[in-house]
Structure 1
Amino acid sequence: MARLKKDFLSELSHKLGTIPEKDAILADYDSHLDDMLIEMMDTAEAEVKEAIYSRLGSPEEIAEMWRDEVTVTPSNMKWLFVLLNVLLFTGGAMLTAAHNLFEWGWLRTIWGYLTSIPVVISFVYMFFWALLGYEIGRSFGHKGKRLVRKTFLLALIPNLTMMVLTVFGIIPHEWFDPLLTNQFIVACIAFTALLYPVSILGYYWGKRASV
């Protein structure tokens, strides 16, 4: 079994060539191979090899996948999610302003519907942050955790700005009727505090899926 693992990692190392993060990639696969070998300790070597190739892919397939992944740079990934969050907030701000400044019936209907499902909107938004972590974990594996933190802090700026502007009355409280209650404010703070743990869970899920 040890020889099977050694041969697999040796071939994978050769196929990866000089790819960035090569050592981290090999370390991840080393760990997963250990788990599989322990799990299949009493299984014939031929079956173990077949299971490894079935679950993880061949060294050539793995190397090809990682070569594709490294074309996505950390900077591009970070700014993509920051931009998406800014677009979400810009869209929400425009909708809120338009609803309060214009007497459009269709807009009142949309506003009424959205304010009736804040929990659904919250969970959809939480999924966005989980996806952020997942994509970074899947694309950058071992070295992606710091990128999750940096991306989270940058992407959170619109959220915090909106909270400050609302709490200090710079944005009229009436604009958010009937949502802006003490309970809703507390829920928003608690929800915001959950976003980073959700991103980290998504990161570990993506890191696991990359192997």
Structure 2
Amino acid sequence: MAKFNKYLKALRERVFLDIGTVAERTGVHRNTQSKYEDSRDPPFDYLVEFAALVDVPLDQMLIKRLEDSKASDDAISKALKALKPGDRGYYEIKSANEPNMTYNAVSELMQVKITEASHKLIPLGATIFISTNSKSIDANSMYAFLNPMNGEHFAAKMVLTATKLKLVFDSTERKDLVFNVEGGETESRYILKTLGLLGKIIKAELIF
């Protein structure tokens, strides 16, 4: 059994939840949950749900996953740096295609390609332009994220209420992500940072 799978099992047992309960609350089959605690690598969306359920910061869980990764030491090191802000407001945003890119939080537009299932309005392969200094939540806007697990970019709309933060995909390919927010703006910002929020999408170019 891989170390990360054991880690997931330990987290479940720490909060006294059985496999069936975790499976139901994270939206997976009971057998799937058992496999996640044995040898199967869980997807990012599941880890987001599971982290919220067992009350563990998602970035802490991602670091554990990276430590148990079969990737090269150099790749793991770069991925770990991508989870942590650098000095003076800089974030080291690492991409599988452009591993050496570093962006200032107040820089000009960032240009990336959508490579992970996203909101239905922005298909795979679309090139998007992101304002990295625009991260205030506007339900009518689209936002870009860098999945810290795989270095892929995706897009979603966001909805923020007094008690919930929601990433909306409006797609059959990916279910929406919902987080309970009890700590106000500080907690919502922490969640978004952990999810890899890059900023507001200003425009998108589609390839036909």
Q: Where on the TM-score scale, by shorter chain, does this alignment land: which range?
A: under 0.3
Greater share of residues in helix: 1
RCO higher in structure (CA 8 A, sep ≥6): 1
Larger radius of gyration: 1
TM-score (norm. length: structure 2): 0.23
TM-score, reference length from structure 1: 0.23
Select the structure that is richer in strand.
2
